[in-house]
Amino acid sequence: MATAYVFELDGYVFPREDVPARGPIIEVSPQRWSKQNVLGSVNPGSILTFFGYESPEWDFVSRASTATKDKLLAVYNGKVAVTFKTPQNTVGFSVLMTRFMPPYADPIENGKFLCEFTLVKV
């Protein structure tokens, strides 16, 4: 039996069957590196320079009810940061929705809409 994980976006709690992830998400900041190859060397190597961290970014897929699809669309069209709460971070953090793809205007199976979206921590 699956554990019910609660995900909330801008005050909207995803219904259990619409949740965008199977469990707690991993909050990690990707590293940014620059690589330069050494020229004119007998033993060629590379110089790596650390530039810092990028904002964490998550790609989600939800088989969403009409209410969930409408909320995702409202958040996307709002173009402002909203609060995203996850199972391990119930206080939440600010995210922007940078991509929203509901590929079909009609629902797929069981009256659900396939919604793909990307959240970026700000």
Q: How confident is the model at residue 10 (pLDDT cuts 50, 70, 90)?
A: very high
Where would I find the H helices in 32-121? 66-78
pLDDT, tens digit (0-9, with 9 covering 90-100), for 82-108: 999 998 888 999 999 999 998 777 888
Q: Say which residues have a Cβ less than 8 Å from residue 119's Cβ, sequence separation at least 6.
A: 57, 58, 60, 84, 95, 96, 97, 98
Q: How confident is the model at residue 64 (pLDDT cuts 50, 70, 90)?
A: very high
pLDDT of residue 2 exceeding 60, the answer is no
pLDDT of residue 63 exceeding 60, the answer is yes
Contact status, residue 36 vs residue 47, Cβ threshold 8 Å: yes
pLDDT, tens digit (0-9, with 9 covering 90-100), for 30-61: 999 999 888 776 777 788 999 999 999 999 99
pLDDT of residue 1: 39
Q: Say which residues have a Cβ less than 8 Å from residue 71's Cβ, sequence separation at least 6.
A: 9, 10, 12
